[in-house]
Amino acid sequence: MDLTGVFVPLITPFDAHGDVAVDALIRLAYETLEDGATGLVALGTTAEPGSLTPAEQDAVVDAIGRVCEERGAPMIVGAGRAAATRRPVAAALVMVPPFVRAGEAGVEAYFARLAADSAVPLIVYHIPYRTGQQLSPPALRRIAQLPNIAGIKYATGRVDADTLALLASAPTGFSVLAGDDVVLAPLLAMGAHGGILASAHLSTHRYARLVAAWRDGDVPTARELGLPLAHLSHMVFAEPNPTVVKGVLHAQGRIPTPDVRLPLLPAAPSNVDAVLALLD
């Protein structure tokens, strides 16, 4: 499977009554695809899946899946709901088991079992600063070689020798997708295939151009875009994700409220205004 480009992990908009604003979600899905996104992620962490009921999760997947199916775009599904939809699913996004620190052998066995049982390919979500489990390049390489593993959302919080080792040894057909928005440009320069990027709700076309520029060897354009987008990403994550993104989308009139569900709180107006000023 070729997972190349910008994948936007869509937020879950809420209406004034606190319910999922499905119509706004559908509009947002259309907008991001029309603005250059390769595909969409339903129920990624940006969607606050832990605060949604199973019925709300299913409604979110169905809404995004309907748009992706109509536009011929791939949909990636997280939060264990990939099997709960009748819409086409390109891959399931599965986090390295958090908190338990199972060790590399345990994580490898976990993904081997999931991949064998899954009806769709898996994307490994490696985010050690949340899971408490760091994986070495050899362990990631062994996981990448498992059947039915399509790629990795790589969010280690840094670009280092381990990153280079993974990118240099990734097997054919295995996609490395940036998961830390602020380091998208250096990861692309090192050979990453794209990214799953919350910041790409905003200025989607510029993120898409950045990925295309590195893919096409257009280094001047890539350099021109990389730094301002890194700055935008840094500002978007000034508060817990997706609070700033929602604040900006609401201020732009794209979603009915900036509301998030506890334990998150809405972003400070100053942080929202700073991003709006940068976008202007």
Q: Any idea what the CATH number is for the domain that residue 143 is in?
A: 3.20.20.70
Whether residue 258 is contained in a domain is answered as no
Angle of the 219-236 helix axis to the 204-216 helix axis, nearest 10 = 140
Residues belonging to the active site: 125, 153
Whether residue 244 is contained in a domain is answered as no
Enter the DSSP assignment of 100: S
Tell me, what's the pLDDT at 228? 96
Tell me, what's the pLDDT at 80? 75
Average pLDDT, stretch 80-89? 76
The model's pLDDT over 1-52, given as tens digits with 9 standing for 90+, comes to: 679 999 999 999 999 999 999 999 999 999 999 999 999 999 999 999 999 9
Q: Give this prediction's pTM.
A: 0.95
pLDDT surpassing 70 at residue 225: yes
Alpha carbon distances (Å) from 17 to 20, 25, 245: 9, 16, 20
Whether residue 259 is contained in a domain is answered as no
What gap in Å lies between CA 68 and CA 30, rounded to an integer?
8
Whether residue 179 is contained in a domain is answered as yes
Count of domains observed in the chain:
1
CA torsion angle 96 3 229 35 (round to 10)? -130
Which residues, 6 or more positions from 277, have their beta carbon under 8 angstroms from its beta carbon? none
Whether residue 261 is contained in a domain is answered as no
Domain that holds residue 34: 5-216
Written as one string, the DSSP assignment of 16-54 is TTSSB-HHHHHHHHHHHHHTT-SEEEES-GGG-GGGS-H
Whether residue 37 is contained in a domain is answered as yes
Whether residue 180 is contained in a domain is answered as yes
pLDDT surpassing 80 at residue 103: yes
157 vs 135, more confident: 135
The answer to whether the CB of 183 falls within 8 A of the CB of 159 is yes
pLDDT surpassing 70 at residue 222: yes
Tell me, what's the pLDDT at 82? 63
Percent of residues, the chain, with pLDDT higher than 70 = 98
The answer to whether the CB of 117 falls within 8 A of the CB of 92 is no
Tell me, what's the pLDDT at 169? 86
Whether residue 233 is contained in a domain is answered as no
Mean pLDDT score across all residues of the chain: 95
